[in-house]
């Protein structure tokens, strides 16, 4: 079965959509993992030249985008009550400064 090979702009569009979806996760760890996984996946498949493997990597990416979109909605319903310390970093620095002044 011959699949349609995606164009360059379609690939970039998928990449950008995945990164945009990754941003929507409320949990720091999931958000950063999704971002990292997207970037690593695209880097890894950068050198593909065989049309079949390009097409299958692209459709895998599209399927993952659907999963990410769905999970962003589901996780937003069960958002962690306490934020990760990584999300609080600017406040934390301010607090240390505050202690230092005292």
Partner 1 sequence: MAMAMARSALVKKYLRVNVGVGVGVDSSPFNAIRRRFFSEEVRTSFKSEVTDRVISVVKNFQKVDPSKVTPNANFQNDLGLDSLDSVEIVMALEEEFGFEIPDKEADKINSINLAVEFIASHPQAK
Q: Which residues bind partner 1 (CB under 8 A)?
A: 8-9, 12-13, 15-16, 19-20, 23, 39, 42-43, 46
Q: How far is the CB of 19 from partner 1 (least distance, A)?
A: 5
Which DSSP state fits 82?
S
Distances (CA, A) of 46 to 5, 43, 54: 14, 5, 9
Closer to partner 1 by Cβ: residue 12 or 96: 12
Closer to partner 1 by Cβ: residue 39 or 54: 39
Closer to partner 1 by Cβ: residue 39 or 55: 39
Distances (CA, A) of 92 to 28, 35, 38, 72, 101: 16, 24, 29, 27, 14
């Amino acid at each position: 079965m011959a699949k349609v090979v995606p164009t360059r702009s379609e690939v970039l569009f998928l990449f950008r959509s995945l990164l945009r979806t990754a941003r929507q996760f409320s949990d720091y760890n999931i958000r950063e993992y999704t971002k990292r996984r997207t970037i690593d996946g695209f880097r890894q498949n950068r050198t593909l030249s065989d049309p079949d493997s390009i097409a299958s990597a692209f459709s895998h990416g599209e399927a993952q985008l659907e999963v990410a979109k769905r999970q962003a909605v589901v996780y937003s319903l069960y958002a962690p009550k306490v934020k990760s310390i990584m999300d609080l970093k600017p406040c934390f620095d301010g607090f240390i400064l505050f202690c230092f002044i005292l």
